[in-house]
Chains A and B, each alone.
Chain A
């Protein structure tokens, strides 16, 4: 069974600086998807970025980028130029592409990101 591990329960960063959130996963599959979701305080969970395992190029979305290391089974999220609005819980998630998976997500425990003004 697949597992997702976020080893940092909490991280803090100074506003305007860069922070990296870690995520590792365990799988025997070669094709899958990885996601980072953001959950601001008392607000809706939203997708930040996704990565397809068969693509070697790291995904980027504006100030958010990933460092996808398939062999190491690592999927870290880098946030550049941190802003106060980036303060949130960040969840890493894995999705199998197998037909019997029903496209369920396997979730990490989350990392709370604090932005210091």
Chain B
């Protein structure tokens, strides 16, 4: 089974802090994704990566950056956390074998910015 591991289930940070959310997958998937999930809005794509050191902006990249130095790891960075970034963050991965392949998700990180 595919395993996508997010480093923290719950995280509390303060406004202005630099925040790192880590995601690791163990299935050698090429594609990795960071989503933000808010009630009534579904999942919104922040950034995705289709290869090491490659990244593409999603629908809501403002205030975020990402890093993919190794194939298995995709990090989301909040450069200067703000209260409106309080949310659930989901990491996902998928293989690059066509659109039929589902995305596999981590457990999510519930981030609170105080």
Contacts of A33 in B (CB 8 A): 99-100
11 A–B contact pairs at CB < 8 A? A44-B108, A91-B43, A95-B99, A96-B99, A97-B99, A103-B98, A103-B99, A103-B101, A104-B58, A105-B103, A107-B42
Q: Which residue from B50, B58, B101, B106 sits with its C-beta under 8 Å from A44?
A: B106
Closest 8 CB pairs of A and B: A45-B105, A107-B42, A47-B102, A109-B42, A107-B43, A97-B99, A103-B99, A95-B99
Classify chain B: how many residues form its interface, as a range: 20 to 34
Assess whether A75 is interfacial by the CB under 8 Å rule.
no
Assess whether B94 is interfacial by the CB under 8 Å rule.
yes
Cα separation A105 to B101 with both chains bound (whole Å): 11
Contacts of A32 in B (CB 8 A): 99
Contacts of A105 in B (CB 8 A): 43, 45, 103
**Chain A 26-67 against B: per-residue CB contact (8 Å), 1 yes, 0 no?**
000000110100000001111100101000000000000000
Residues of chain A having any CB pair with chain B under 8 Å: 4, 6, 9, 32-33, 35, 43-47, 50, 52, 91, 95-97, 101-105, 107-110
Cα separation A101 to B98 with both chains bound (whole Å): 11
Q: Which residue from B33, B40, B92 sits with its C-beta under 8 Å from A109?
A: B40
Cα separation A103 to B31 with both chains bound (whole Å): 9
Say whether B90 contacts A104, CB under 8 Å: no
Given A44-B106, A45-B105, A103-B31, A50:B100 Cβ within 8 A = yes
Say whether A109 contacts B41, CB under 8 Å: yes
**Chain B 35-56 against A: per-residue CB contact (8 Å), 1 yes, 0 no?**
0000011111100101000001
Contacts of A96 in B (CB 8 A): 99
